[in-house]
Amino acid sequence: MVSIELTKKIYWDNNVEGYVILLTEDFESSADISFIEKFYPHVLSILKKHKFKGKVGQSFTLTALKNEKLSQFVFIGVGMWDRVWHQELEDLRRAVGAAVLKLKSLEVESAVIQVPEHNVFGVEQPELVKQMAIAAFMSDYKFTTFKSEEKGKDWSGRLLLATDVRNDAGREAALEQAKIVAKAINHTRHLADMPPNIATPTYVSEQAKKIAGGVQGLKCAVFGRELAEEFGMGGFLTVDVGSEQEGKFVVLEYEPEQKDAPTIAIVGKGVTFDSGGISLKPASYMTGMKFDMSGAAAVMGTMQAIAQLKPSVRVVGLMPLVENMPSGRAGKQDDVITFMNGKTAEIVNTDAEGRLILADALCYAQKFYDPDILIDVATLTGSCLHALGHSYTALLTKDEKLSELLRVSGDMTGDRVWPLPFDDDFKDAIKSSVADMSNSGTPTYKAGTITAAFFLNNFVEKGVSWAHLDIAGTADGVPGVNYLGKGATGVGVRLLVDFVMKYKR
Ligand code: BES
Ligand code: ZN
Ligand code: MG
């Protein structure tokens, strides 16, 4: 794992093996390049020869002698810091990603990177330090647990972030926070990447207990089928009983010192494998469905970070964990089930299982915690990929203020969200002739992501500020974002941690 430090020395005075230079498209006239020119007289013509133009995604490495030592100069293009929707912050994160991946591949032991002037980004310097550090840690994640040759052979490079010394305490604290958040994100990614024969509901619930055991101020409670029956969780149970693996319902609780603190409840879909159940998925659609617990993993990561960052907000994380399998005991099409709040649903498709377990979890959150804010995060619908692809999480809420807060946190952290319409035009899509609702929208309505949210809406009491986040497109396999790598992205952790830390009633 890379280790990150702050350095008070100016850039070139650091005695390191690698120097990362972020260059904008107008770099020819920049102070950085004229400085390097002094050292390395032909650098500008070399960059030109190699068609380096400072565009986003461009990089160029030069091996040269500095202080008689072989050094790596890694030039990273950053475009023109395009100030649209905080795209400039995202470009910076990807520039850091490119740098870390390059340093790692060259096995550079130590390197320095300049933190750019923060005013360009419209944020304070500590925030910039935090964003860069998190991106660096995220770039360094790779799932190697089952790669005999690679596992345990981590890169242990040092990365120095060079800043001026204007805000010493602020940037130190920001780096500490970044370490906490990044560790939680990478843990979330690891859980989501673990194969479903190992990462069963029991395994995931044990991980939650382990985390709570290691962090002061975080409590964990777990229950299974028996208590779920007592609570009348017909949604949770109808998915759970089809599997040989017993489902687990995990409650993680962070209690601040302040007694009259507001409460935020977050609920994550935890289907450790989604075969579709009796409405079995075709084989090619089933591959990858280990990721269907990414929402629950994000809740775990968020709670892990929150309990260490200690905001003055009570935060409760709920993780209904089940495996969706077909069997003689499994729920089937035409079944009618009853949820914890007494409402009923006709099962039209057992593959629309996430909303069933979330429904009971939403009921549980409101019954026992009376939250001011309720947010669920779930790999809920394939439709979400059609609507928004891989770069935006779908946001569905009727609360404009909550929508805006989540959007701002998303732009700041890189876990970007985009609102989908959520008005009553879609409500009738889940009508049923035999029950209060059906578990899947009538095909003529299309808009599967929206109709799924309308299903969940039935389980949110009036007056509760609720938002639904569909992460089906953003939880893994995001193409073209270097710092997210190949598998799980840990989506949700950056967003929810930032949201909770800034939350004021
Ligand atoms: N876990 C899936 C959602 C999903 C599908 C995510 C494909 C990513 C890619 C969910 O449980 C599911 O199967 N949803 C169905 C719902 C439908 C039957 C109403 C879907 O989206 O097809
Ligand atoms: Zn699913
Ligand atoms: Mg499904």
Question: Nearest ligand to the C-alpha of residue 320?
Answer: 2
Chain centroid to CA 116: how far?
Answer: 25
Distance CA 10, CA 13 (A): 6
HSE, CB side, 13 Å, CA atoms: give it for residue 302: 35
The verdict on the CB of residue 246 being under 6 Å from ligand 1 is no
What pTM was estimated for this model as a whole? Answer: 0.98
Helix (H, G, I), strand (E, B) or coil at 266: strand
Q: What is the CATH number of domain 3-169?
A: 3.40.220.10
The verdict on the CB of residue 382 being under 6 Å from ligand 1 is yes
**What's the gap in Å between 289 CA and the centre of ligand 2?**
7
The verdict on the CB of residue 354 being under 6 Å from ligand 1 is yes
- The one-letter code for the residue type at 43 is V
- The one-letter code for the residue type at 22 is L
Residue 383 CA: which ligand 1 atom is closest?
A: 21
Q: What is the CATH number of domain 184-502?
A: 3.40.630.10
DSSP characters over 259-270: TT--EEEEEE-E
Distance CA 472, CA 377 (A): 10
The verdict on the CB of residue 448 being under 6 Å from ligand 1 is yes
Atom 9 in ligand 1: which residue has the minimum CA distance? Answer: 382
Distance CA 261, CA 110 (A): 44
pLDDT value at position 167?
61
Question: Where, residue-wise, is CATH 3.40.220.10 in the chain?
Answer: 3-169
CB atoms within 10 A of CB 84: 7
DSSP characters over 236-252: HHHHHTTSSSPPEEEEE
User: Could you give the residue numbers annotated as active site?
Assistant: 281, 355
Question: Where, residue-wise, is CATH 3.40.630.10 in the chain?
Answer: 184-502
pLDDT value at position 166?
63
Q: In this structure, are strands 344-346 and 336-338 parallel, antiparallel, or unpaired?
A: antiparallel
Question: Nearest ligand to the C-alpha of residue 286?
Answer: 1
Atom 7 in ligand 1: which residue has the minimum CA distance? Answer: 382
Helix (H, G, I), strand (E, B) or coil at 67: coil
The verdict on the CB of residue 470 being under 6 Å from ligand 1 is no
- The phi, psi pair for 73, rounded to 5°, reads -105, 115
**What's the gap in Å between 352 CA and the centre of ligand 1?**
6
Distance CA 404, CA 208 (A): 31
Q: Are 208 and 201 contacting, i.e. CB atoms less than 8 angstroms apart?
A: no
- Kindly list the distances between the CA atom of residue 206 and the CA atoms of 58, 220, 300, in Å, as whole numbers in the listed order: 43, 10, 11
Distance CA 393, CA 375 (A): 13
The verdict on the CB of residue 274 being under 6 Å from ligand 1 is yes
Q: Are 139 and 157 contacting, i.e. CB atoms less than 8 angstroms apart?
A: no
**What's the gap in Å between 382 CA and the centre of ligand 1?**
5
Q: Are 354 and 378 contacting, i.e. CB atoms less than 8 angstroms apart?
A: yes
**What's the gap in Å between 350 CA and the centre of ligand 3?**
7
Give the H or E element holding residue 392.
none
Distance CA 318, CA 127 (A): 29
Helix (H, G, I), strand (E, B) or coil at 113: strand
pLDDT value at position 165?
65
The verdict on the CB of residue 349 being under 6 Å from ligand 1 is yes
Q: Are 17 and 11 contacting, i.e. CB atoms less than 8 angstroms apart?
A: no
> Please, what are the averages of pLDDT over each run of 10 residues along the chain (505 residues)?
90 91 92 82 93 94 89 94 83 97 96 93 94 98 96 92 80 97 98 98 98 96 98 98 98 96 98 98 98 99 98 98 98 98 98 99 98 99 98 98 98 97 93 98 95 98 98 98 98 99 96
Give the H or E element holding residue 186.
helix 168-193
Residue 354 CA: which ligand 1 atom is closest?
A: 11
The verdict on the CB of residue 353 being under 6 Å from ligand 1 is yes
CB atoms within 10 A of CB 325: 22
The tokens of 363 are what?
Answer: 């009921």
Which of 280, 381, 426, 451 has the most ligand 1 atoms within 8 A of CB, as the residue to mutate?
A: 381
Which of 349, 351, 383, 385 has the most ligand 1 atoms within 8 A of CB, as the residue to mutate?
A: 351
Distance CA 312, CA 302 (A): 15
CB atoms within 10 A of CB 451: 23
